[in-house]
């Protein structure tokens, strides 16, 4: 190891400590017997996990978040695929505008997106429903799915589809038998990522969920009431779900490699 | 003559103001091996894609056995293509790639498809690779899979778009032989696009030379080689020396041209005073030590370089006006001359091989 390598490793370690310290703290104190997050640790306990396990508002929040995450993942990925494929296959006037528009939602501050969603959902009588949260999250998540699938499509030899047509496959069949199988890793990855984003998302959910609280909204409500170590336990669970989804997405991306063009 | 299998009737393809194919008339016979050749951008690939139905002509008509097929979508044409990039399906193994077309056509059980695919893989010598992924194959093996995939459909017409250009020289020659063999064994029509003259001349029954969206010449390789129909073709083939000039005399099928390298004679006819170009095949030129006077079928110059590729030697000779002639000879033919760079030589040729190029 050269001196430069050492400095680089230390630097990298410092970054990870900086990023992970709060999360590690959260997880560590979720198992602390004491109700105050202070050192020294007063002993291992599952008390706070037992407490949330018997809390029905957390059950409902978790269930809501799960429903919203799954629905959002499916709808966003379908929309994202359609947008990415449109970009890949067709040339048309205003394509740049179309792409900019399709990629825009995550660039809008979420507070604004939340308020806009609330106003719109109220107009169409959906405010306060889970459907509204799903719609809001889909708007926010579809661009991520589109981006992931576009990256994959960029590796699809432009001759592949015409080759399938040439061998007797109609356009629809080609999408089903050639494009979708090729995009499969990106589609899995997009579903996992959008589910993770949705599961975590607080702002839009807070504006439009009403009484149908998702887990992050429930957590804030708990925080506003009293600081309880139960929050550490819920937070740890949310982290576990999210990091699992992200790892799934990573694994899917990793499996891209084998079928990259010109490999 | 029997009815052509494919006819291109005044076919044109424009992209806005750009013309890819200006106007092509071409009749392709059954069992013919036809090669479209030209520099890049000449419209040869566009023409092939028009045949495959991947491009729609902006004017003219494409007919298969006399039936117009302009509006037939690519998936109904049954004219499989071998792609320059191979365009194999990366997520399917070798055998499933070959089965793809059969599966689309339907009417075959999975077992029959498998059998047929293996037959073709066997025919191309890669049956033992049926379970490999595409990414595990070399360029030559991919090429064979691409051929098997197209041929498994047992089509009447096979389209090939620069199929050998991605292979190294050695493999290219082998695949060339293989293609030739397949063509004669299968008795189907091959329409082949390339920019490589060696491929075109080695494989084709007829070569179509294209430039700027137009057909420059159609003919058997020998015909094109010996009698290029235009200055473009002569330059493109690169087998002849082309000299431009003005006709100063004309009589009995011979003309005399005033050119920058002197007065030269050529066979053909052209009105006095007209511009013309004369073509002298490089392998018909004799090389002697300078000395004898030059005349209408000889020039004198200084040897600049020689290019030695095995048995054939190309000599480059600079004439007094600075232009160059090239001469192709067998190594043993020029050995006795003991030529050195700078040696003055006399180049002469039989009059009947100096032809005036059609305008």
Residues of A in contact with B135 (CB under 8 A): 258-259, 263
Shortest Cα–Cα distance, A244 to chain B (Å): 26
Q: Is A184 in contact with B104 (Cβ distance < 8 A)?
A: no
Q: How many CB pairs under 8 A join A and B?
A: 69
Shortest Cα–Cα distance, A112 to chain B (Å): 43
CA torsion sign for B275, B281, B282, B287 is negative
Which of A91, A163, A174, A179 is best to mutate for the B interface (most B CBs within 10 A)?
A163
> Who among B74, B91, B135 is closest to A165 (CB)?
B74
pLDDT of residue A263: 36
Q: Is A178 in contact with B89 (Cβ distance < 8 A)?
A: yes
Q: Is A159 in contact with B89 (Cβ distance < 8 A)?
A: no
Stretch 184-213 of chain A: residues touching chain B, C-beta under 8 Å: 184
B7 sits in the region (left: phi over 0; alpha: psi -120 to 50; else beta) called beta
Residue B8, CB half-sphere, CA atoms under 13 Å: how many? Answer: 28
Shortest Cα–Cα distance, B106 to chain A (Å): 10
Which of B80, B85, B90 is best to mutate for the A interface (most A CBs within 10 A)?
B90
Q: How many angstroms separate the Cα of B138 from the Cα of each of B88, B145, B287?
A: 13, 11, 46
pLDDT of residue A66: 93
Across B234-258, average pLDDT: 88
pLDDT of residue A257: 63
CA dist A176 and A85 (Å) reads 12
Contacts of B176 (CB under 8 A, 6+ apart): B164, B199, B202, B203
pLDDT (tens digit per residue) in B195-224? 988 889 999 999 999 998 899 999 999 988
Contacts of B92 (CB under 8 A, 6+ apart): B100, B134
Q: Is A162 in contact with B135 (Cβ distance < 8 A)?
A: no
Query: Are B297 and B350 a contacting pair, CB within 8 Å?
Result: yes
Domain spans, chain A: 50-259
Longest dimension (CA), chain A: 72
In sequence order, the β-bridge partners of residue B345 are B289, B301
B76 versus A35: the higher-pLDDT residue is: B76
Q: Assign domain B6-226 one CATH number from 1.10.287.10, 3.40.50.300, 3.90.1640.10, 3.40.50.360.
A: 3.40.50.300
Ranges for all domains in chain B classified under CATH 2.40.50.100: 239-356
Q: Is B73 in contact with A165 (Cβ distance < 8 A)?
A: yes
Q: Which run of H or E residues covers position B87?
A: none
CATH-assigned architecture of domain A50-259 = Orthogonal Bundle (1.10)
Does residue B165 register a pLDDT over 50?
yes
Across B181-203, average pLDDT: 92
CA dist A140 and A106 (Å) reads 6
Q: Is A172 near chain B, with CB under 8 Å?
A: no
pLDDT of residue A1: 67
CATH-assigned architecture of domain B239-356 = Beta Barrel (2.40)
Which two structure tokens, joined as six digits, stand for B213?
A: 């969206």
pLDDT of residue B107: 86
ipTM score: 0.83
Nearest to B134 by CA among A173, A10, A163, A111: A163
Query: Per residue of chain A (263 residues), what is the pLDDT tens digit?
Result: 678 889 999 999 999 999 999 888 888 888 887 777 667 777 788 888 888 888 888 889 999 999 999 999 999 999 999 999 999 999 889 999 999 999 999 999 989 999 999 999 999 988 888 999 999 999 999 999 999 999 999 999 999 999 999 999 999 999 999 999 999 999 999 999 999 999 988 889 889 888 888 888 888 888 887 777 888 888 888 899 999 999 988 888 777 665 554 43
Chain B residues with a Cβ under 8 Å from any Cβ in chain A: 52-54, 73-81, 83-85, 87-91, 100-101, 104-105, 133, 135, 149-150, 153
Shortest Cα–Cα distance, B134 to chain A (Å): 8
pLDDT of residue A77: 97
Longest dimension (CA), chain B: 79
Residues of B in contact with A165 (CB under 8 A): 53-54, 73-75
Which two structure tokens, joined as six digits, stand for B142?
A: 């991919």
Residue B68 CB coordination number (10 Å)? 12
> Who among B54, B100, B104 is closest to A162 (CB)?
B54
Q: Is A258 in contact with B135 (Cβ distance < 8 A)?
A: yes
Residues of B in contact with A173 (CB under 8 A): 75, 104
Across B231-240, average pLDDT: 87
Count of residues making up chain A? 263
Q: Which run of H or E residues covers position A120?
A: helix A110-123
> Who among B75, B80, B135 is closest to A259 (CB)?
B135
Q: Say whether the peptide bond before residue A138 is cis (omega within 30 degrees of 0).
A: no
Which two structure tokens, joined as six digits, stand for B194?
A: 């390339």
């Amino acid at each position: 190891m050269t001196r430069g390598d050492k400095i680089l490793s230390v630097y990298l370690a410092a970054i990870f400590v900086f990023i992970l310290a709060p999360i590690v703290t959260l997880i560590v104190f979720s198992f602390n017997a004491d109700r105050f997050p202070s050192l020294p640790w007063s002993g291992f306990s599952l008390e706070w996990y037992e407490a949330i396990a018997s809390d029905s508002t957390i059950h409902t929040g978790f269930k809501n978040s799960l429903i919203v995450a799954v629905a959002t993942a499916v709808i966003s990925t379908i929309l994202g695929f359609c947008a990415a494929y449109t970009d890949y296959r067709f040339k048309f006037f205003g394509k740049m505008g179309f792409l900019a528009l399709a990629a825009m939602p995550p660039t809008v501050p979420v507070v604004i997106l939340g308020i806009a969603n609330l106003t719109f959902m109220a107009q169409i009588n959906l405010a306060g429903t889970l459907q509204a949260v799903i719609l809001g999250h889909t708007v926010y998540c579809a661009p991520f799915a589109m981006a992931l699938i576009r990256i994959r499509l960029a590796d699809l030899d432009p001759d592949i589809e015409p080759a399938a047509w040439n061998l007797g496959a109609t356009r629809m069949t080609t999408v089903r038998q050639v494009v979708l199988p090729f995009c499969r890793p990106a589609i899995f990855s997009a579903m996992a990522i959008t589910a993770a984003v949705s599961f975590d998302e607080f702002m839009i959910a807070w504006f439009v969920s009403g009484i149908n609280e998702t887990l992050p909204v429930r957590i804030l409500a708990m925080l506003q009431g009293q600081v309880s170590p139960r929050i550490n336990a819920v937070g740890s669970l949310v982290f576990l779900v999210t990091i699992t989804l992200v790892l799934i997405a990573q694994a899917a991306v990793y499996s891209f490699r084998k079928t990259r063009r010109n490999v | 003559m029997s009815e052509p299998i494919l006819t291109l009737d005044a076919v044109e393809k424009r992209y806005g103001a750009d013309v890819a194919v200006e106007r092509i008339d071409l009749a392709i016979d059954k069992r013919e091996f036809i090669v479209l050749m030209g520099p890049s951008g000449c419209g040869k690939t566009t023409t092939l894609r028009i045949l495959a139905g991947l491009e729609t002509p902006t004017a003219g008509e494409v007919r298969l056995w006399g039936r117009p097929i302009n509006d037939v979508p690519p998936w109904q044409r049954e004219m499989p293509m071998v792609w320059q990039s191979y365009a194999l399906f990366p997520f399917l193994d070798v055998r499933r790639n070959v089965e793809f077309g059969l599966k689309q056509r339907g009417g075959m059980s999975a077992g029959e498809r498998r059998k047929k695919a293996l037959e073709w893989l066997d025919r191309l010598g890669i049956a033992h690779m049926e379970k490999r992924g595409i990414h595990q194959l070399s360029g030559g093996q991919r090429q064979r899979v691409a051929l098997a995939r197209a041929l498994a459909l047992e089509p009447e017409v096979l389209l090939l778009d620069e199929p050998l250009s991605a292979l190294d020289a050695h493999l290219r020659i082998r695949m060339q032989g293989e293609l030739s063999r397949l063509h004669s064994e299968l008795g189907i029509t091959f329409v082949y696009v390339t920019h490589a003259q060696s491929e075109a001349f080695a494989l084709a029954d007829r070569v179509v030379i294209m430039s700027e969206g137009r057909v420059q010449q159609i003919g058997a390789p020998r015909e094109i080689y010996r009698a290029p129909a235009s200055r473009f073709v002569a330059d493109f083939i690169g087998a002849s020396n082309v000299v431009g000039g003005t006709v100063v005399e004309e009589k009995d099928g011979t003309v005399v041209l005033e050119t920058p390298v002197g007065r030269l004679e050529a066979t053909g006819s052209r009105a006095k005073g007209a511009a013309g170009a004369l073509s002298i095949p490089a392998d018909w030129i004799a090389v002697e030590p300078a000395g004898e006077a030059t005349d209408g079928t000889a020039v004198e110059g200084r040897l600049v370089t020689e290019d030695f590729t095995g048995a054939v030697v190309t000599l480059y000779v600079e004439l007094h006006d600075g232009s160059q002639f090239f001469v192709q000879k067998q190594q043993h033919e020029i050995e006795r001359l003991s030529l050195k760079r700078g040696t003055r030589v006399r180049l002469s040729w039989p009059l009947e091989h100096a032809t005036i190029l059609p305008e």
